Chains A and B, each alone.
Chain A
């Protein structure tokens, strides 16, 4: 008797969820952030519907501060796979010159949370897949796989729909929506092992390479373009760094690493002593900042 491995079980669960959304939700979309979790999501969507292409579009919320290599990767993958890739940015924010250097936390609110809500409203999506995992952050650990959002896209942690067996309740009224997290039960290790097993294409930034960086607050930050604000004390160094998570380059810390292959990354990750969100500056602001953002409509 063939038994399913731990990764097979996680894959089956995610595909079941993705198919339920495609079958039951009126206008679904898959959020695509270009990171490794998004790469896994995209891969699962391709597998779930093979030989058909995924019966929904993908949406990237572009803060305009993503790593250049991410944007290149996004455009290349969309073209190779023939999938519909929508890109939305908060043009008001762009006009006002909102940036991570001057605007701190409100930068994330305006260019990510607000942009996401705009993007979802613009196309009238009733369900949006996200790559969130419960092992990432405490508030996510308690969120349902099908996470109900009201007309303001807000999450109410005290009033979540109970989720029984695989009987997901996908019903929403007009204007309300679902955020759906097929990777809820995956850990960072599972993601890397799955990428390895399935030979999933990921952004080269995950692999160590000599890159121009500045050392700030315990993180190596990539000098990705000439918008980078150099402080008088900053010194651009060339270091072998890789990134465990990818977001906006001024907010994403790189790690010193020699890991240039997936095997080496997994080796490093399995022995990791720092969980991945530490390299995202946003969570460090205050205990519970992620929960606040989620209540306001962030993923």
Chain B
């Protein structure tokens, strides 16, 4: 029975990988005649000389031909007497790591091209690391352009040694290093006379022979894609068996409900079968009613479990940077669930494996991250289970596939939200795409604190910020209505406003607090409570101006001693020593004063 092998080729732009595949297809004499004709035509169009250019077989898209380089993944198909092959040709230049990851995720084997004249390069290391990351277990290193180094064995052996050293840090099951010349065809289809010292298989015979079967003893897992319910008597769970085998009469566990049931019927597509194995699409009926829907998993693996938080190696695929706290949709197996990156442990340098601290991640960067999901889902580490251990993150706004990843560790807590650390203030801020601040407006009564706080809030909202305004007077109608106006009560009033502002900051909001807060010690206390988010805005309008405005008639009452301990009259106002922003409204319109505050705020927002 003829089997299928999916492989990818990767290498530098000039390593000749397109030429290599072109040659495989061509020499296998499996190329269709009109494509060959088109190739000759294209070669002329491509102005690379009058000769047939094998590489053009793979460089399909018009735009790419104009650039003269491969920019995407191209798939080609060929068959020999021994095996059917699907080849993904993946790009060799740095900018398109994501395309290589796409090709690698689909392949069982990778051919890494190395230029014999250059040896192992930074790119080779990058490609080997991506192959390992995406779960490729079988590697062929094709040391190409051997003709340019006179087929020297020493040169080949040195490159082979270098690669095997590199591979010690990566998890491959098989590695074969073959000396080839893609343009001349040495060791591509048959053993080359130019390399008598290489006594192993040439490339194509090696690809025909290699066994890439996964562990046959794995336990049964069936992630459910869909429940089929054509009538009352039939309830079938549809999906593809990802590992192991199952037979009618076997007991399975349905996750996450953990119910057990016996397999009553197995349909492999439209055929009733007694058993089914990994890779087959099935519809399974169970002996009793169990709680199963899309995203559930039927299994015999008692260790398989749900988790809500995990660490993973994540590769960024989208142009939007990946940031802590941003909300994504996470697709694992057949489950899709909201998730958030709660921490970036470190970036991993794809070339040398070095670990670097990072706050956010750019396209083509790899990192170890912690991800928390909205609900527990069934998952596994990637090493145990490729399907239940790999995922993609989808941007909730653009719907682009933002990143892909493989799970390294599960954190099995029953409820992550019981632990305060999971959704942090930083996450809430990031979700609102802002920095939470408290704008503390201090100044005399009538200085313009409430008016300006109100105007600033309007501007912030127009800019898309999420805000809350705390007005000292208004709070006295509710939260602080049990407080008097003596110094201790005013200090307590102040403390409460600061505590509320802090809570609002933790909720991710920009808080505007308008309160006289006349004493340095009160403002100091507020700053201690609120922390770094505290921005002091001193409305420095002088007493004479405030008193002449006297919008609430309070100064008049204070002068007649109808109000005790009135700030500025019968109680001191201590001028702030180091406010972040100072505004005197005497000679400024409301709009000008607001402009001034907004300009000054720009660097804090």
In the bound complex, do residue B281 and residue A16 qualify as a contact, i.e. CB atoms below 8 Å apart?
A: yes
Min distance, Cβ A187 to any Cβ of chain B, angstroms: 5
CA distance A49 to B89 in the complex (A): 34
Name the CB-closest residue of A to B85. Answer: A6
Interface status of B552 (Cβ within 8 A of chain A): no
Number of residues on chain B facing chain A (CB within 8 A): 69
Min distance, Cβ A84 to any Cβ of chain B, angstroms: 15
Interface status of A164 (Cβ within 8 A of chain B): yes
Name the prevailing secondary structure of the B interface residues: mixed
Min distance, Cβ B303 to any Cβ of chain A, angstroms: 22
Q: Which residues of the other chain, A, contact B45 by a CB distance below 8 angstroms?
A: 287
Q: Which residues of the other chain, A, contact B72 by a CB distance below 8 angstroms?
A: 142, 157, 160
Q: A3-B213, A138-B61 are in contact. Are A16 and B401 (CB under 8 A)?
A: no
CA distance A23 to B331 in the complex (A): 14
Q: Would you list which residues of chain B between 201 and 237 have a CB under 8 Å from chain A?
A: 213, 216, 225-226, 228-230, 234, 236
Mark interface residues in A128-163 (1 if CB within 8 Å of B CB, else 0).
000000110011011000000000000001101111
Interface status of A81 (Cβ within 8 A of chain B): no
In the bound complex, do residue A166 and residue B387 qualify as a contact, i.e. CB atoms below 8 Å apart?
A: yes
Q: Which residues of the other chain, A, contact B229 by a CB distance below 8 angstroms?
A: 52
Min distance, Cβ A10 to any Cβ of chain B, angstroms: 8
CA distance A6 to B4 in the complex (A): 5
Interface status of B483 (Cβ within 8 A of chain A): no
CA distance A52 to B38 in the complex (A): 45
In the bound complex, do residue B280 and residue A4 qualify as a contact, i.e. CB atoms below 8 Å apart?
A: yes
CA distance A46 to B283 in the complex (A): 13
CA distance A184 to B6 in the complex (A): 14
Q: Which residues of the other chain, B, contact A48 by a CB distance below 8 angstroms?
A: 238, 269, 281
Q: Can you show 28 pairs from A to B with CB atoms below 8 A apart? A: A1-B216, A3-B1, A4-B277, A5-B2, A8-B279, A8-B280, A12-B280, A15-B240, A19-B281, A50-B270, A52-B229, A134-B77, A135-B76, A139-B61, A142-B61, A142-B72, A142-B73, A157-B61, A162-B404, A164-B105, A164-B392, A164-B404, A165-B386, A167-B332, A167-B391, A169-B331, A171-B329, A189-B79
In the bound complex, do residue B401 and residue A161 qualify as a contact, i.e. CB atoms below 8 Å apart?
A: yes
Name the prevailing secondary structure of the A interface residues: loop
In the bound complex, do residue B225 and residue A23 qualify as a contact, i.e. CB atoms below 8 Å apart?
A: yes
In the bound complex, do residue A185 and residue B102 qualify as a contact, i.e. CB atoms below 8 Å apart?
A: no
Interface status of A261 (Cβ within 8 A of chain B): no
New contact pairs (10) apart from A157-B61, A167-B391, CB-CB < 8 Å: A4-B280, A12-B280, A47-B270, A48-B269, A139-B61, A162-B101, A163-B102, A164-B404, A275-B33, A287-B41
Interface status of B35 (Cβ within 8 A of chain A): yes
A-B residue pairs, 7 tightest by C-beta: A275-B32, A138-B60, A50-B270, A47-B269, A52-B230, A171-B399, A15-B281
In the bound complex, do residue B401 and residue A164 qualify as a contact, i.e. CB atoms below 8 Å apart?
A: yes
CA distance A187 to B76 in the complex (A): 9
Interface status of B575 (Cβ within 8 A of chain A): no
In the bound complex, do residue B279 and residue A50 qualify as a contact, i.e. CB atoms below 8 Å apart?
A: no
Q: Which residues of the other chain, A, contact B226 by a CB distance below 8 angstroms?
A: 19, 22-23
CA distance A143 to B60 in the complex (A): 11
In the bound complex, do residue A275 and residue B35 qualify as a contact, i.e. CB atoms below 8 Å apart?
A: yes
Name the CB-closest residue of A to B230. Answer: A52
In the bound complex, do residue B62 and residue A291 qualify as a contact, i.e. CB atoms below 8 Å apart?
A: yes
Interface status of A172 (Cβ within 8 A of chain B): yes
Q: Which residues of the other chain, B, contact A15 by a CB distance below 8 angstroms?
A: 240, 269, 281
Q: A162-B401, A167-B392, A169-B392 are in contact. Are A46 and B270 (CB under 8 A)?
A: yes
Min distance, Cβ A121 to any Cβ of chain B, angstroms: 20
Interface status of A95 (Cβ within 8 A of chain B): no
Q: Which residues of the other chain, B, contact A51 by a CB distance below 8 angstroms?
A: 228, 230, 234, 236, 267, 270
Interface status of B485 (Cβ within 8 A of chain A): no
Min distance, Cβ B63 to any Cβ of chain A, angstroms: 7
Q: A171-B394, A184-B75 are in contact. Are A6 and B3 (CB under 8 A)?
A: yes
Mark interface residues in A1-45 (1 if CB within 8 Å of B CB, else 0).
111111011111001100110110000000000000000000000
Mark interface residues in B159-198 (1 if CB within 8 Å of A CB, else 0).
0000000000000000000000000000000000000000
Interface status of B367 (Cβ within 8 A of chain A): no
Min distance, Cβ A160 to any Cβ of chain B, angstroms: 7
CA distance A189 to B2 in the complex (A): 13
In the bound complex, do residue A172 and residue B32 qualify as a contact, i.e. CB atoms below 8 Å apart?
A: no
Q: Which residues of the other chain, B, contact A16 by a CB distance below 8 angstroms?
A: 225, 240, 281
Picked from B32, B101, B225, the residue with its CB within 8 Å of the CB of A20 is B225
In the bound complex, do residue B102 and residue A162 qualify as a contact, i.e. CB atoms below 8 Å apart?
A: yes
Interface status of A288 (Cβ within 8 A of chain B): yes
Min distance, Cβ B6 to any Cβ of chain A, angstroms: 8
Interface status of A274 (Cβ within 8 A of chain B): yes
CA distance A141 to B3 in the complex (A): 22
Q: Which residues of the other chain, B, contact A23 by a CB distance below 8 angstroms?
A: 225-226, 294, 334
Interface status of B98 (Cβ within 8 A of chain A): yes
Q: A4-B279, A185-B75 are in contact. Are A274 and B33 (CB under 8 A)?
A: yes
CA distance A189 to B294 in the complex (A): 35
CA distance A57 to B86 in the complex (A): 31
Interface status of B565 (Cβ within 8 A of chain A): no
Q: Which residues of the other chain, A, contact B489 by a CB distance below 8 angstroms?
A: none
Q: Which residues of the other chain, B, contact A169 by a CB distance below 8 angstroms?
A: 331, 392, 394, 399, 401
Interface status of B42 (Cβ within 8 A of chain A): yes
Q: Would you list which residues of chain A between 277 and 299 have a CB under 8 Å from chain B?
A: 277-278, 287-288, 291
In the bound complex, do residue A12 and residue B101 qualify as a contact, i.e. CB atoms below 8 Å apart?
A: no
Q: A49-B228, A165-B105, A173-B399 are in contact. Are A141 and B75 (CB under 8 A)?
A: yes
Q: A11-B269, A142-B74, A165-B106 are in contact. Are A158 and B63 (CB under 8 A)?
A: yes
Picked from A12, A158, A171, the residue with its CB within 8 Å of the CB of B281 is A12
Q: Which residues of the other chain, A, contact B41 by a CB distance below 8 angstroms?
A: 287
In the bound complex, do residue A157 and residue B63 qualify as a contact, i.e. CB atoms below 8 Å apart?
A: yes
Q: A12-B281, A23-B226 are in contact. Are A165 and B34 (CB under 8 A)?
A: no
In the bound complex, do residue A19 and residue B230 qualify as a contact, i.e. CB atoms below 8 Å apart?
A: no
Q: Which residues of the other chain, B, contact A291 by a CB distance below 8 angstroms?
A: 61-62
Picked from A2, A50, A142, the residue with its CB within 8 Å of the CB of B60 is A142
Q: Which residues of the other chain, B, contact A157 by a CB distance below 8 angstroms?
A: 61, 63, 72
Interface status of B84 (Cβ within 8 A of chain A): yes
Interface status of B317 (Cβ within 8 A of chain A): yes
Name the CB-closest residue of A to B318. Answer: A162
Q: Which residues of the other chain, A, contact B329 by a CB distance below 8 angstroms?
A: 171
Interface status of B400 (Cβ within 8 A of chain A): yes
Min distance, Cβ B336 to any Cβ of chain A, angstroms: 8
Q: Which residues of the other chain, B, contact A11 by a CB distance below 8 angstroms?
A: 269, 281
CA distance A277 to B34 in the complex (A): 9
Q: Would you list which residues of chain A between 212 and 228 have a CB under 8 Å from chain B?
A: none
Name the CB-closest residue of A to B331. Answer: A167
CA distance A127 to B310 in the complex (A): 33
Interface status of B99 (Cβ within 8 A of chain A): yes
Interface status of B390 (Cβ within 8 A of chain A): yes
Mark interface residues in A266-281 (1 if CB within 8 Å of B CB, else 0).
0000001111011000
Picked from A52, A134, A162, the residue with its CB within 8 Å of the CB of B98 is A162
